[in-house]
Amino acid sequence: MNERVMQFRLGMFVIVAGLVLTMLVVWFGESPQILRERGFVKVHYAEAPGVLQGVSVRKSGIRVGEVVAIDFDDRPNQPDGVLVTLALESRFKIREGSVPRLTRSLIGDVTVDLLPGEGDGLMKTGPSPSEAPVIEGEVAADPSKALAAATKVFESAGDTLKTIQEAAKGLAQISKSAGRLDDFLATWDQTGKDLSGASTGIRSFVDENQVAVKKAIADIELAADRLNSTLDPATQDALKTGIARFSAAAGRLDGALADASPLMKDLGAPVDRTPTTDLGQTVRRMNRIASDLELLTNTLRNGRGGLNTSGSIQRLLTQSDLYDNINAVAISANQALAQLRAALGAFRDFAEKVSRDPGAISRGALGR
């Protein structure tokens, strides 16, 4: 098999494949989009959730076109929104007034459904997307939001049914308690009879002891008269004066306690707090002095209740030799100070003579 035969067979295969493809396209009634005659129209939506290029445009369930472009509506003096460009096949006759409505399913699929129009003519379209006329569209309710609203309604209905059930339980409880109502009324009737008998007994008792009651009331009135005669104006004034003085004394006592409050706070404060009153600072100094004395006495003690004889101060107090040596040093220091005092007196006399006659120094040197 030479190369020319091979090329011939390859060419025949390509021609046959092309014919078969053409027959299939004609058989199924489909053709490439570029070969179809289409018209373009732009639809304005306030929002276009889920719309993408290639979304089908349907009329009465039949696919009549697709979405080819999505842009924001930036036209002057127009409301904000989205412009969705639809490509409609010209072989489908779409009546004027048809409204493109965005429909979204529960699973999120989006389609553009052309609602039937009521116009007499056909919908006007443009030969290209840039020349397409603009019409208004509408967006169908989102089924997911409707489902959420329905869920809330069902929840409310469930609460309502629960309330009705509780009310029914209350009515059942009331019906159960209705059997005891007769017993309650009988008990109340008996209680009323008992109260009536008690009031009758009280009345008879008052009638029988009326003289004693009147005498007791007279005694109370006599005691009140005597109390009024006892509390004459002078006694009342004295009582008022005593109460006023007691109130003033209580006020002064409260003031004194308020003035002493800082001192009490200083006396009860921790040791690391600085006092704010003079007495508090004095007490703190006394505490420091007592602490220093305690440290000193701890140094002087030997831990067994006796004096520590190994310290310098203790040796000075307990060993007589150290005391004698200190006395001898003090005597020597006194003698040295006396001699120094005599030398200072001679020097003072010499200085006075020189100050009176400075030439005496030179004369004395020449005389020698």
Taking only the tens place, the pLDDT of each residue in 166-193 is 766 766 666 666 556 566 667 767 777 7
pLDDT top residue among 362 and 54: 54
Mean pLDDT over the full length of the chain: 76
Residues 43/88, Cβ–Cβ less than 8 Å: no
For residue range 326-359, list pLDDT tens digits in order: 778 888 888 888 888 888 887 787 777 777 776 6
pLDDT at residue 42 in the model: 92
Average pLDDT over residues 148-161: 65
Instruction: Name which residue leads in pLDDT, 274 or 228.
Output: 274
Collapsed DSSP state (helix, strand, coil) of residue 42: strand
Q: Looking at residue 31, what is its pLDDT?
A: 47
Report the pLDDT value the prediction gives residue 282, as an integer from 0 to 100.
Answer: 83
- pTM greater than 0.85: no
Tell me the average pLDDT across 59-72. 90
Residue 135: name the closest of 107, 90, 94, 176 by CA.
94
> Residue 102: which region, alpha, beta or left (left: phi > 0; alpha: psi -120 to 50)?
beta
Residue 3 pLDDT exceeds 60: yes
Best-predicted range by mean pLDDT (19-28, 33-42, 52-61): 52-61
Which residue carries 């009176």 as its tokens? 356
Q: Where are the alpha helices (DSSP H) in the chain?
A: 3-28, 143-177, 181-208, 210-230, 233-259, 261-268, 278-300, 312-318, 320-356, 360-367
Reply yes or no on whether the pLDDT at 266 is more than 80: no
**pLDDT above 90 covers what percent of the chain?**
5
Measure CA of the first residue to CA of the last residue in the chain; give whole Å. Answer: 163
How far, in Å, CA of 171 to CA of 193, rounded?
33
pLDDT at 40: 92
Distance CA 122, CA 118 (A): 10
Burial status of residue 102 (CB atoms within 10 A of its CB: 0-12, 13-18, 19 or more): buried
Asked if residue 157 has pLDDT above 50, the reply is yes
- Pair of tokens at residue 302: 């030997």
pLDDT in tens, 195-214: 777 677 777 766 777 777 67
Q: Is the pLDDT of residue 367 over 70?
A: no
For range 124-137, the mean pLDDT = 88
Query: How many Cβ atoms from other residues are within 10 Å of residue 286's Cβ?
Result: 10
Residues in the chain: 368
> Which pLDDT score, from 0 to 100, does residue 308 have?
61
pLDDT beyond 50 at 289: yes
Whether 102 and 45 have beta carbons less than 8 Å apart is answered as: yes
Residue 112: pLDDT above 80? yes
Res 220: pLDDT? 81
Q: Where are the domains of the chain?
A: 1-30, 35-140, 145-228, 319-358
Task: Give the contacts of 115 (CB within 8 A, at least 6 positions apart).
Answer: 98, 99, 100, 101
Residue 290 has pLDDT above 50, yes or no: yes
pLDDT given at position 85: 92
